[in-house]
Amino acid sequence: MKIRLKKVKTSIVKIILITFVSIIIISNLVIGSIVFTNWFGYADRALTEISIKLEDDVVNIVEFYIENHWTGIKDKDQKGLINHLKLVIKDRNSKILIVDRNTGEVFLDYIKIEDFLNTPKSITEPILIYDMGYPALSEAYNTYLDSNVESFKLKNNGDKLYINISEFNKSEINWVIITALSDKQLTSTIIKNIIYTIVIVIISLIISIVIYFYLIKKLIQPLFDLLDITDKFTKGDLSMRLLVSRNDEIGLITNAFNNMADTIYRLVNTLEDKVKQRTFELEKTNEILKDNRDHLRLILDSTAEGIYGMDIDGNCTFCNRSVLKILGYKHYTELIGKQMHYTIHYSRKDNTKISLDEYRIIKAMKEGAQIHVDDEVFWKKDGTYVDVEYRVYPQKKNGIVVGGVVSFTDITESKKAK
């Protein structure tokens, strides 16, 4: 019984490697996406809370300064507020703007962003918020004026700003306080961690592949040994065996191969012994048959009667030496295979033809009857005839006539004497 295996172009080692690497990459992508999403979610929540806290601190400082240190002198109040705000925005990527709601002029601009650092400075000339070069702040300010929305998360020059807006009103002061916090405060660290994680994953993957190849070589090598031994075994070296040193599936396959090889080895050796024995018996039988055939030929050639055999169609199958002598032939091959009716018994003494239907030998043989005839002639090789007395004996096999034997004697002289 043959089991057809599906042909594949890729080796098992490559399939396992591709599967292994795919599982690692997919699992890391899934886990990484979950972890990184959580990190960014945490950063978003943390930055939102920090931006709210920053707004509260700035409003409190402004309120404290107005109540305790306000002079009404613009340059002096700007510097005083900046000195107080330093305590709040220290170590923060933030921007604080105080805008006069009535005129839209920037009263105070304090910037401290990670990518570029401008030292705090007072405003000497009137500047509108739209001239600051921060589209996100302008957009948030306009939206606040239109709809009183106080919290925003907007992109500005590649950064994401967490913007909060509140108003401060006291006597002649009508300010809009804008605080903006850049996401770089946390996301830069997260991005670095992501890069480190990717590098670690790649290094781990490379190490895993190296370990995989080492383990695969150790695990699969017995299979290559098995292939090599199998190739030698199929080429006739039936003594090849594998050393079984493991108890796993490969060890079971190796043990099964050894058992199969032992069985084949025993069968082949037994078969060779049987073939030798049968060959010897056959040679002995052939020798006996040859002796019997030679003995039978000796008997046939020792008789004075001519004896020949025919198949069911009248073709000569054998003849003895007397047939050759009486009919003038030199060798058996001149008669073997010839149709005997057309060769030696085709006409009567007066040369009248004997048709095949009148051929008494064939007719008697097919009917399975024995006949004795003493009034016909057989024609010799040289075209002369001899008077013969012949007898026909049908040959049967399993009750079916398969041929016949004809024995005859030359009665020419006896007929002349009569």
The secondary structure of 297-359 as a DSSP string is HHHHHH-SSEEEEEETTSBEEEE-HHHHHHHT-S-GGGTTTSBHHHHH-SB-TT--B--GGG-
Residues 287 and 359 in one domain: no
β 306-311/400-410 pair status: antiparallel
User: What backbone phi and psi angles, to 5 degrees, belong to 173?
Assistant: -90, 125
Same domain assignment for residues 122 and 185: yes
Mean pLDDT is highest, among 56-65, 164-173, 375-384, for 375-384
Neighbours of 355 (CB within 10 A): 8
Q: Is residue 171 part of a domain?
A: yes
Q: 122 and 59, same structural domain?
A: yes
In this structure, are 169 and 264 located in the same domain?
A: no
Domain total in the chain: 3
Confidence of residue 124 (pLDDT cuts 50, 70, 90): low
CATH number for position 69:
3.30.450.20
Whether 19 and 144 map to the same domain: the answer is yes
CA 124 to chain centre: 79
Same domain, residue pair 307 and 368 = yes
Amino acid letter, 327: L
What is the domain range of residue 85?
13-189
Q: Which two tokens stand for residue 286?
A: 């052939």
28-55 pLDDT per residue, tens: 788 878 887 887 788 888 888 888 888 8
Same domain for 25 and 164: yes
Residue 214 lies in a domain: no
Task: Calculate Rg over the CA atoms of the chain.
Answer: 61
The 10s digit of each residue's pLDDT in 52-85 is 888 888 889 888 888 888 888 888 888 888 888 8
Q: Is residue 211 part of a domain?
A: no
Both 264 and 318 in one domain: the answer is no
133: its two tokens:
């070069």
Q: What percent of the chain has pLDDT over 90?
A: 21
Q: Reduced to 3 states, what is the DSSP secondary structure of residue 8?
A: coil
Residues 65 and 53 in one domain: yes
Shared domain for 354 and 251, answered yes or no, is no
Q: 112 burial class (0-12, 13-18, 19+ CB within 10 angstroms)?
A: buried
Instruction: Report the distance separating Cα 95 and Cα 161, nearest Å.
Output: 9
Mean pLDDT for the stretch of residues 90-111: 78
Residue of higher predicted confidence among 347 and 83: 347
Distance CA 141, CA 144 (A): 5
| 217 within domain boundaries | no
Question: Between β-strands 151-156 and 371-379, what pairing exists: parallel, antiparallel or unpaired?
Answer: unpaired
Quick one: 260 and 275 in the same domain? yes
Answer yes or no: are the C-beta atoms of 354 and 345 closer than 8 Å.
yes
Structure tokens at 261: 């090889």
3-class SS at 205?
helix
Residue 194 lies in a domain: no
The continuous run of DSSP H or E covering 167 comes out as strand 159-170
DSSP 150: -
pTM of the model: 0.46
Report the candidate in 165, 168, 162 with the shortest Cα–Cα distance to residue 178. 165
> With contact defined as beta carbons under 8 Å apart, do 218 and 230 qualify?
no
Task: Give the 3-state secondary structure percentages of the chain, helix then strand then coil, rounded to 5.
Answer: 55, 20, 25
Q: Decide if pLDDT at 114 tops 50.
A: no
CB atoms within 10 A of CB 364: 20
End-of-domain residue from the set 249, 267, 302: 302
Q: Is residue 2 part of a domain?
A: no
Do residue 84 and residue 180 come from a single domain?
Answer: yes
Last residue within a domain, chosen from 163, 189, 215 = 189
pLDDT for 13 beyond 80: no
In a domain, 142, yes or no: yes
Please check the confidence at residue 2 and state whether its pLDDT lies above 60: no
Share of the chain above pLDDT 70, in %: 90
Q: How confident is the model at residue 373 (pLDDT cuts 50, 70, 90)?
A: very high
Classify residue 233: in a domain, yes or no: no
- The rounded mean pLDDT for the chain is 82
